[in-house]
Every structure is written in C-alpha cells, then in structure tokens.
Amino acid sequence: MGDILAPVDHTAPAILELGSLLLVAALAGKLARNLGLPAVIGYLLVGVAVSPFTPGYVANRQQLSILADPGVVLLLFEVGIELNPHQLAREGRRLLLLSPLQVLITWAISAAACLAFGMRLPGAALIGLSIAMSSSVVVVNITRSRRRTTDPRTDEVLLGWSVIQDLVGVSAALVLVVVVGLGGRSGLIAIVQVLAFAAIAAIAAFVLPWLLRRLLADHDLFLLLSVASGLVLAGVRSLFFGIPLALAAFVAGLATTESPVAAEARQRLLPFRDVFAVMFFVALGTLIDPGKAGLALPWLLLFLGLVVVGKVVVVWAMARLARLGARPLQVAVGLGQVGEFSYVLGGLALGGGLISSAVSEGLIGAVVASIAGSSILVRLRKPAS
C-alpha cells in the first residue's frame, strides 16, 4: 500500500503548486477585468510575481512548462482551426490584398528600424515579422467581449484581417526558418523537411476529419481525439521535420479547418485551451526580468513605436482608403498589438543566437504593453445610438 501511495506523495508538491498558480491566476484575471484590463495582464503579473527575478516565492518553471507548452500548442492549433481560407476568399476579397500588404509594409519598416539600431539581418527579419503580426486571441476577445463597442462589420474586418495575418505570417516564418537555418538545419535538408511537413499536413487534412466524423456521437472520444491530434501532429512535425512547435501546431489546425466537424472540434477544445493557455501566459511572465528593464527599455520603446507607426497608422490608412464599411480607427487599434505568436518567433530568434536577451525582454514587454493598450483603447469608441 505504501509503495502505491509513494508516487502520489512525491508529486503532491507539483500538483499543489500548479493548482495554486491556477487559483491565483483566476483571481488576478478577475481583478484585471474589474479594472477594465484584459485577464491576460493578470496572468502575466502572476508570472512576474513568482519569477526568479522578483523577491518571494519562485515557481518551478520546468513544472510550469508541463502545462504551458501544451498551452501554446493548443492555443495556435485552435486559431488554425478557426481560420477558413476558402470562406475568406469568398467574403473578404479586399482583405486578401490589404492584410498581406500590411504585413509586408510593417515587416519592412520594422526590420529596417531594427537594422538601423544595430541588429543583424536574420534577427531583424524575425523581429520585424513579429511586430507585423497581431494576436488572433486578443482580436477574438475584443469582438466577443461584454464591454465591446465595435459593430458587426468592424468585428468581421478585425477577425478576417487577423486570420489572414496569421496565414501570411506562418508562411513567412516557415520560409525564414529554412533560410536562417534555425535548429542547425539549412539548405537542401531543410527544404526537404518542409516539403515532407507539407505532405503530412495534406494527409492529415483528409484522415483527421474522417476520424472525427466517426466519433462525433461519442463526446469523450471526440474530445480526446481533438486534443491528441493537435499535440501529436505538432510534436511529430517539430521532432522529425525540424518545424518549430508553435508553427507546427498552427498548421495542424489548418488541416482540420475545412472539415464539417471543425466547428465542433474547436468548441470542445476551448475549455482545455483556456486552462493550458493561462499557464502559458503565467510562464511567459516568469521570463520578465525587472532588473533588465533599463537595458530593455530602448528596445521596448522602439517596438511600441513601430506598432503605432508601422501597424496602427498603416492599417488605419488602408481601412480608410479601401472603404471596408468598418470603423477604420477601431480596426487599426484592435490590431495594434504584438501577439503570442510574435513571442514564439522572438523565442526562436533568442534560441538561435540571433538577438540579445535585452531585445527579447523588450519584445516580451511590448507583448504585454500592446495587448493591454489595444484592449483598452479599442473600447473608447462608443457605438452609434
């Protein structure tokens, strides 16, 4: 009997820590919402409070990763499911031109500015792409918030613009991974791996929906397959084909998006995604080192300036000139953040030695500040009476 209970006792501290962090994150998220801030700010601040860079309790980041890593995988897997390229082609033809053009313009402006500040070209390219992309998760929350002031057409444009950004950004990121040779793979080997990755994605696009349809009536089995498929497809592609885990997760979601069961899979994934994603943002908060704020401040200000000049102003001008029927300023402000996918690209650049820790700290700070600013400022426009 003692032998059976011993493993449980051994894992009790880890279980207690993870449970306590989820509880504190929930309270911090509620407090943030009461203050008019997005809940994610509360989660990030919890991470800062339990990081090794602040006094007091220090969380075990390895244990956090047990939930945080699946969190970012399921987060981007679900975003991939929500993206429907064919529907966008039918209903948002102007967005199919405007969104990629904005990504390219913002990318070019941001990369040029990073180069001017002394960053090497590969790092500048990855950071520039990071700034060009917004957060689909934040945009979805803006359009579905109880405090939202956007109208239906503005919601449509925000969502469409954001998901096209994701599609363009992921494609560009895959090309950069090959060109830069992250993970020690470059040249012909990297190209072959990406092609093999695309082949696996095409096969999954047929096999996975077929399996999901046959389990639709079995709620528990359908849920298990939905969660497992996102984790397995992302893990296999990252482990065997050299594709970064987050990119692989997004493409795995795209493999499901056109199936009749995609909406059901996404709906059942949401509770799991939300729990895991909370730990992802808490883990992200543990990376913020207030002691390096002085070194990171110039980069933080640069990145926030690029978000305003290179993205918000560009989106506003495009939306106004294109006469999309949406509120141009709200569209621009709603897209005016550095998102979770940008943090992933920054992590790749840092891991590959392409940027310094100060640049990485500045990018993480830009993620936090821009998400908070965008979520608050987009509500200032009151709906027409």
Give the pLDDT score at 314: 96
Q: How confident is the model at residue 132 (pLDDT cuts 50, 70, 90)?
A: very high
Residue 187's region, left for phi above 0, alpha for psi from -120 to 50, else beta, is: left
Which two structure tokens, joined as six digits, stand for 315?
């989106």
Picking from 370, 221, 205, 210, the residue whose alpha carbon sits closest to that of residue 300 is 370
Range of the domain at 311: 2-377
User: Residue 382 falls within a domain, yes or no?
Assistant: no
Q: Which region among 51-65, 263-277, 347-361 has the lowest average model confidence (pLDDT)?
A: 263-277
Q: Is the pLDDT of residue 317 over 90?
A: yes
As a dihedral over the C-alpha atoms of residue 103, residue 108, residue 109, residue 110, rounded to 10 degrees, the angle is 80
If we measure between CA atoms, which residue out of 286, 307, 309, 289 comes closest to residue 297?
289
Sequence-ordered alpha helix ranges (H) in the chain: 2-34, 39-49, 61-82, 85-91, 93-116, 121-132, 136-144, 152-180, 187-214, 219-241, 245-257, 262-285, 293-306, 313-322, 328-334, 340-351, 357-377
Residue 186: Cβ-neighbour burial (10 angstroms; 0-12, 13-18, 19+): middle
- Looking up tokens 């080997």 gives 189
Q: How high does pLDDT run on average in the chain?
A: 79
- Give the dihedral of Cα atoms 107, 134, 333, 123; nearest 10 deg: -40
Amino acid of residue 243:
I
pLDDT at 385 over 50: no
HSE of 343, CA atoms in CB hemisphere, 13 A: 22
- CA pseudo-torsion sign 110, 111, 112, 115: positive
Residue 384 belongs to some domain of the structure: no
Q: Is residue 383 part of a domain?
A: no
The confidence score (pLDDT) of residue 105 equals 96
Sign, CA dihedral 351-353-354-359, equals positive
Q: What is the DSSP string of 221-287?
A: HHHHHHHHHHHHHHHHHHHHH---HHHHHHHHHHHHHTSTTHHHHHHHHHHHHHHHHHHHHHHHHTT
Phi, psi of 381 (to 5 degrees): -80, 120
345 within some domain? yes
Q: Would the pLDDT of 257 be above 60? A: yes
Q: Is 196 a domain residue?
A: yes
Query: Is 385 among the domain residues?
Result: no
Number of domains in the chain: 1
For residues 123 and 114, give the distance between their C-alpha atoms in angstroms, rounded to a whole number. Answer: 8
By CB neighbour count within 10 A (0-12 exposed, 13-18 middle, 19+ buried), where does 219 fall?
exposed
286 vs 73, higher pLDDT: 286
Q: Is the pLDDT of residue 332 over 90?
A: yes
pTM of the predicted protein model? 0.77
CATH code: domain of residue 31? 1.20.1530.20
201-250 pLDDT per residue, tens? 777 777 777 777 777 777 778 778 777 877 787 777 667 666 666 667 77
In sequence order, which residues have a C-beta less than 8 Å from that of residue 317 and are 6 or more positions away?
none
Measured CA to CA, the distance from residue 29 to residue 68 in angstroms comes to 17
16-30, 103-117, 358-372: range with highest mean pLDDT: 103-117
| Residue 123 belongs to a domain | yes
Looking at residue 331, its pLDDT comes to 93
Alpha-carbon distance 344 to 277, whole Å? Answer: 14
Residue, of 52 and 383, whose pLDDT is higher:
52
Does residue 307 lie within any of the structural domains? yes
**What does the pLDDT read at residue 142?**
79
Q: Give the model's confidence band at 7: pLDDT under 50 very low, under 70 low, under 90 confident, else very high.
A: low
